[in-house]
Amino acid sequence: MKSVILSTATRYLLPLLLLFSIFALLRGHNEPGGGFVGGLVASAAFTLFALAHDVERARAILPLNPRLLIAAGLLIAVTSGLIGMLFGEPFMTTAWDSREIPVVGKMGTPLLFDIGVYLAVMGVALTIIFSLAEE
């Protein structure tokens, strides 16, 4: 059963939830939030869209396959740990850039790790939810 109210609300909530997930991701390395929370909020946005329409339309608006999101997230997270090793430090040692970006703050490997977690959590959650919704 299609709900006109839910599909109309989803049209406005999807961009807001995705924007909030990016906000949670970017503030996560300095304050509460981060990649895990941001990834869950982003996957909740696509889940809401899938409930309002169907899974195929939700997959169509998602830029990548959720399994590719998992792989990309894991690759980015591991790469963030290897950057410290390039400077002769142990694995997962943080490295910071001295410049500060206005909205984000100082760039460093914790933000890169959070981006990897964001993508991996989003991919895992969407893989599970889409699989269950298709049944």
Cβ pair 31, 105 in contact under 8 A: no
Residue whose token pair is 């977690």? 117
Cβ pair 42, 118 in contact under 8 A: yes
Instruction: Count the domains in the chain.
Output: 1
C-alpha span between 106 and 7 (Å, rounded) = 39
Band (30; pLDDT cuts 50, 70, 90)? low
Cβ pair 108, 29 in contact under 8 A: yes
Q: Note down the domain range covering 84.
A: 4-134
Instruction: Please check the confidence at residue 100 and state whether its pLDDT lies above 70.
Output: yes
For 97, phi then psi, to 5°, come to: -90, 145
* Tens of pLDDT, residues 2-15: 888 999 999 999 99
Q: Please give the average per-residue pLDDT across 47-68, as a whole number.
A: 93
Is 102 or 22 the better-scoring residue by pLDDT?
A: 22
pLDDT (0 to 100) of residue 1 = 61
For 34, phi then psi, to 5°, come to: 120, -170
For the chain, percent of residues with pLDDT exceeding 70: 98
Cβ pair 112, 72 in contact under 8 A: no
Length of the chain: 135
